[in-house]
Structure 1
Amino acid sequence: MSRFVDRVVLHATAGAGGNGCASVHREKFKPLGGPDGGNGGRGGSVVLVVDPGVHTLLDYHHRPHATARSGTQGQGSFKNGANAPDLELRVPDGTVILDPDGEIVADLVGPGTRFVAAEGGRGGLGNAALASTARKAPGFALLGEPGEEVSFTLELRSLADVGLVGFPSAGKSSLVAALSAARPKIADYPFTTLVPQLGVVSAGDATFTVADVPGLIPGAADGRGLGLEFLRHIERCSVLVHVVDCATFETERDPVSDIEALEAELAHYADQLGTSALGERLDQRPRMIALNKIDVPDAADLVEMVRADLAERFGWPIFAISTASRTGLRELSFAMAERVAAARAAQPDAEPTRTVIRPRAVDDSGFTIEPDTGLDGGFVVRGERPERWIRQTNFENDEAVGYLADRLARLGVEEALAKAGAVPGCPVTIGDMTFDWEPSTPAGVAALLTGRGTDVRLENTERVGASERKQARAARRAHLSDAELAAGARYASDHEIER
């Protein structure tokens, strides 16, 4: 049996970017032909796309985890890795995306509307792209960035022009079936309708949609009965029709009290919802009253008794109808069409999507420095670029670490740390990496040339340098006499001849 699901939690994981390649061109008679490592490919993003052919979120109820593919790694000979395709998830028209805090992130309305739920990671640069005058043949490449991991709640809110509200068994499903080609379930017991049903109604030249939603009972705004399952699907309706059962066997109910109970629930829910995309509260939408089941003699008599009271109490248009004999349905459908046309005309014209450019402020350094409350004397560097650089760095390669230090220095991180009171050896945290800060090259100074895959600033050796050996030899020669120096020179000359 098919199921209707209108609320799911989606866990989206974008693909990671491919790593860059550290390669040197090798050819006969050209042992060092320069760096030729390609860049890594971009990871795939998770994208939600509105598809008119999808009417439920059932697929994501059974498979709530969506993972996009990762980009491939770069190769030698300047071969870049392949970009991974985006993972497109089809959702119904009218899907609302909520963050974990319940705030609306996006409202997907209109076929083809797209929303990037999780952005794919960037591919890492190969050593060919990292070559410079200071590093002619880098022995490292940047790592690919991991893809975003997010969790969203998807809610389906029906797109209909007219919403039918009423108690269970008031005849809403019968009314939709009589006005349109929709065939909702109809039975003589409460809560027959468990899922929203949409019907397309034609009245003259006008065409509009009517939503049949689960029945409403007092306390629905607080979750009683089907509660929010009902109210969510009338948020977008521009016209509300109260369908009243005038042939109910419950003696304590009457049309006036039924409508007052429904209005109280709408007002309560509107307080929680606030102003919607239609520009007005839910309890302020145009409304109409349909007194149903007048084919029953007692119901027809009741209609005549309460019509004046309803008109005085609410002031809305009142229609006496019967879905069984189809009495009054033509008048009701044309009145609905008139109200829908007025609501559509009152809506502002849709504006084309504009590209918004937000340039960075002149005094924005791109990062901030804060004291680390978890480490005594430590600091935390926050910023998009420093944190991204940390993720892209292979900390097993000393040259890559040195390149990171140069980038941070050029950005001004070292200077800012010094102004903040940092001293050599204090812990500094960037992203998920904590290290002991040691000032390196000043900002703008080129890196020192060293061997591939190494950095002189990270070398820790006690080997005596050439200049120190020369000074020691000069000190030893200062204590020798002229005869000893001459003998040493003859000994060196003889051995040179033998070689």
Structure 2
Amino acid sequence: MTTFVDRVELHVAAGNGGHGCASVHREKFKPLGGPDGGNGGRGGDVILVVDQSVTTLLDYHHSPHRKATNGKPGEGGNRSGKDGTDLILPVPDGTVVLDKQGNILADLIGQGTTYIAAQGGRGGLGNAALASARRKAPGFALLGEPGHSGDVVLELKTVADVALVGYPSAGKSSLISVLSAAKPKIADYPFTTLVPNLGVVTAGSTVYTIADVPGLIPGASQGKGLGLEFLRHVERCSVLVHVLDTAALESERDPLTDLDVIEAELAQYGGLEDRPRVVVLNKVDIPDGQDLADIIRPDLEARGYQVLEVSAIAHLGLKELSFALAQIVAEARAAKPQEEATRIVIRPKAVDDAGFSVVAEEGFYRVLGEKPERWVRQTDFANDEAVGYLADRLARLGVEDELVKAGAHSGDEVVIGPADDAVVFDWEPSLATGAEMLGRRGEDHRFDAPRPAAQRRRERDVERDEAEQEYDAFKPF
């Protein structure tokens, strides 16, 4: 049964915003007391949070679909809907968040680091919030905005100061078990280590972490063995430790060749050229192992490596190794630039930024922009007054002027939003001229209380009958 997972594809969906409420206050002797519809609640976010008690992505491997709760709709009596609950997803320290194309969205390092993977939708305004001196009793409310949804890839890269690399059965697991309190599986066959192991080492005043990754073989960077799956776990280390087996039983292998093969695989993987190297000659407690160590040590030192001889079984040279690694780690930490204090960066919009754009495409015009797209999503198109309110907002934003500049004419097809989430309509300019601009002061038919279509037809029939009767009463004989 799988107990360690370091890469998953997560399907996240934030909560939808609650709809606003269109309500009129009513009480005795006050049948029309004004609008009192409350706002809808905000949808919950999906938030990734680093939790150092979590060491694997196994939970998301079994349950990859995660969704936050929706906001509640508003109610009458100026009661706003309850906000949706944020969904907190704990992830291991060192988790990298990527999109499906492989672009890095966030690198989560450090306890408590957060990243909003999906943002909840805004709640719709109720008619009480939409009321104004011009529109005293709106008969509509705004809809809640849908929450964001999508797929992200979580990739775990172990946060360790020291990484042990080498051939299978070179003694890496035995070494980490005696240097720290880690208890990895140890056996006398290759690929005993199937998952990375982490241990904490204390050497004097320096405390550092050490990682043991599955053994590498030729072709690991191309996917052979287990190396390709776990080489990412050595990317964050400060020092690489080559563990060489001086008691290898295979006649066709020798420690120097093993070192060259592992270095070639690391070079193929890339990004590790600047890490300092230390060579550890393991199993020197065996007579043949000590003899081989004495033979190859001058060659390794001639290449510029720091060489240490140890025996994990006999506990030889462990103290010297732990303090040597502690010195390198301390130097690497001191060389890192100090983290600057958090600064607030203000990025004002350009003075000529309209907040939207109009693009002429084949056969239609497309309007793109955060505001018009959000306004369309929050409009109830079954309500004529809400549609009129949307038309006014778009006109005030300057959309109609830009459509005219782009060459649009009455009846042309206009699309608001991207292709996968667009609203299409035939454009009718709302510009009025001449006598159409005159009329009864302060009136606008778009802001009349919405009435059923059957009622409007009956009213038109009554008006027509009354007009015919007046004509019949005064027509000359």
Aligned counterpart, 2:200: 200
Aligned counterpart, 2:145: 145
Equivalent of 1:296 in 270, 277, 286: 286
Separation in 2, partners of 1:323, 1:460 = 94
Aligned counterpart, 2:341: 352
Relative to structure 1, is the Cα distance of residues 156 and 296 closer, same or farther in structure 2, using a 3 angstrom cutoff?
same
Offset at 1:176?
A: 0.2
Aligned counterpart, 1:426: 412
Aligned counterpart, 1:439: 429
Q: Deviations over 1:234-284 (max 9, x none)?
A: 0000011000011111222222211111111111111xxxxxxxxxx4122
Relative to structure 1, is the Cα distance of residues 406 and 468 closer, same or farther in structure 2, using a 3 angstrom cutoff?
farther
Taking the TM superposition and a 5 Å limit, the aligned residue runs for 1:172-191 are 172-191=172-191
Does structure 2 retain, via aligned residues, the 8 Å contact 1:398–1:455?
no
Equivalent of 1:413 in 395, 399, 418: 399
Separation in 2, partners of 1:252, 1:467 = 105
Offset at 1:355?
A: 2.6
Separation in 1, partners of 2:158, 2:218 = 22
Q: Deviations over 1:39-91 (max 9, x none)?
A: 00000000001111111111101000000000000000100001111000011
Separation in 1, partners of 2:465, 2:281 = 106
Relative to structure 1, is the Cα distance of residues 74 and 115 closer, same or farther in structure 2, using a 3 angstrom cutoff?
same
* CA RMSD in angstroms, aligned pairs only: 2.4
Matched, 1:81 2:67: no
Matched, 1:166 2:166: yes
Offset at 1:230?
A: 2.1
Does structure 2 retain, via aligned residues, the 8 Å contact 1:291–1:320?
yes
- Residue 210 of structure 2 aligns with an amino acid whose one-letter code is V
Matched, 1:339 2:339: no
Separation in 2, partners of 1:461, 1:371 = 42
Aligned counterpart, 1:275: none
Aligned counterpart, 2:389: 403
Matched, 1:71 2:67: no
The count of aligned residue pairs is: 462
- Residue 86 of structure 2 aligns with an amino acid whose one-letter code is D
Higher deviation after alignment, 410-419 or 348-357: 348-357
Matched, 1:453 2:450: yes
Q: Deviations over 1:173-210 (max 9, x none)?
A: 00001111111000000000000101111112221111
Equivalent of 1:315 in 290, 304, 314: 304
Percent identical pairs in the alignment equals 60
Does structure 2 retain, via aligned residues, the 8 Å contact 1:19–1:124?
yes
Matched, 1:385 2:375: no
Separation in 2, partners of 1:171, 1:227 = 16
Q: Deviations over 1:80-126 (max 9, x none)?
A: 00111100001111111111111111011111111100000000000
Aligned counterpart, 1:15: 15
Separation in 2, partners of 1:103, 1:55 = 23
Does structure 2 retain, via aligned residues, the 8 Å contact 1:200–1:207?
yes
Does structure 2 retain, via aligned residues, the 8 Å contact 1:218–1:265?
yes
Offset at 1:478?
A: 8.1
Q: Deviations over 1:349-394 (max 9, x none)?
A: 1223323222211101111111233xx2x11111111010110000
Separation in 1, partners of 2:323, 2:405 = 74
Separation in 1, partners of 2:69, 2:252 = 61
Relative to structure 1, is the Cα distance of residues 10 and 447 closer, same or farther in structure 2, using a 3 angstrom cutoff?
farther
Separation in 2, partners of 1:319, 1:102 = 40
Offset at 1:147?
A: 0.5
Instruction: Please identify the structure whose Cα radius of gyration is greater.
Output: 1
- Residue 353 of structure 1 aligns with an amino acid whose one-letter code is T
Offset at 1:453?
A: 2.3
Aligned counterpart, 1:484: none
Does structure 2 retain, via aligned residues, the 8 Å contact 1:399–1:454?
no
Relative to structure 1, is the Cα distance of residues 453 and 474 closer, same or farther in structure 2, using a 3 angstrom cutoff?
closer
Relative to structure 1, is the Cα distance of residues 472 and 360 closer, same or farther in structure 2, using a 3 angstrom cutoff?
farther
Does structure 2 retain, via aligned residues, the 8 Å contact 1:366–1:385?
yes
Separation in 2, partners of 1:366, 1:447 = 30
Offset at 1:328?
A: 1.2
Relative to structure 1, is the Cα distance of residues 447 and 473 closer, same or farther in structure 2, using a 3 angstrom cutoff?
closer
Higher deviation after alignment, 252-261 or 430-439: 252-261
Higher deviation after alignment, 324-333 or 339-348: 324-333
Taking the TM superposition and a 5 Å limit, the aligned residue runs for 1:34-73 are 34-73=34-73
Separation in 2, partners of 1:382, 1:465 = 45
Aligned counterpart, 2:221: 221
Does structure 2 retain, via aligned residues, the 8 Å contact 1:215–1:230?
no
Separation in 2, partners of 1:165, 1:227 = 10
Separation in 1, partners of 2:100, 2:205 = 44
Separation in 2, partners of 1:151, 1:234 = 26
Separation in 2, partners of 1:266, 1:472 = 97
Relative to structure 1, is the Cα distance of residues 181 and 69 closer, same or farther in structure 2, using a 3 angstrom cutoff?
same
- Residue 330 of structure 1 aligns with an amino acid whose one-letter code is K
Separation in 1, partners of 2:360, 2:290 = 77
Higher deviation after alignment, 66-75 or 354-363: 354-363
Relative to structure 1, is the Cα distance of residues 19 and 441 closer, same or farther in structure 2, using a 3 angstrom cutoff?
farther
Aligned counterpart, 1:491: none
Relative to structure 1, is the Cα distance of residues 164 and 327 closer, same or farther in structure 2, using a 3 angstrom cutoff?
same
Does structure 2 retain, via aligned residues, the 8 Å contact 1:157–1:234?
yes
Aligned counterpart, 1:494: none
Matched, 1:305 2:295: yes
Does structure 2 retain, via aligned residues, the 8 Å contact 1:25–1:35?
yes
Equivalent of 1:365 in 354, 379, 399: 354
* TM, length-normalised to structure 1: 0.88
Secondary structure of 1:284's aligned partner: coil
Secondary structure of 2:273's aligned partner: helix
Secondary structure of 2:390's aligned partner: helix
Taking the TM superposition and a 5 Å limit, the aligned residue runs for 1:60-139 are 60-139=60-139
Separation in 2, partners of 1:215, 1:448 = 77
Higher deviation after alignment, 464-473 or 93-102: 464-473
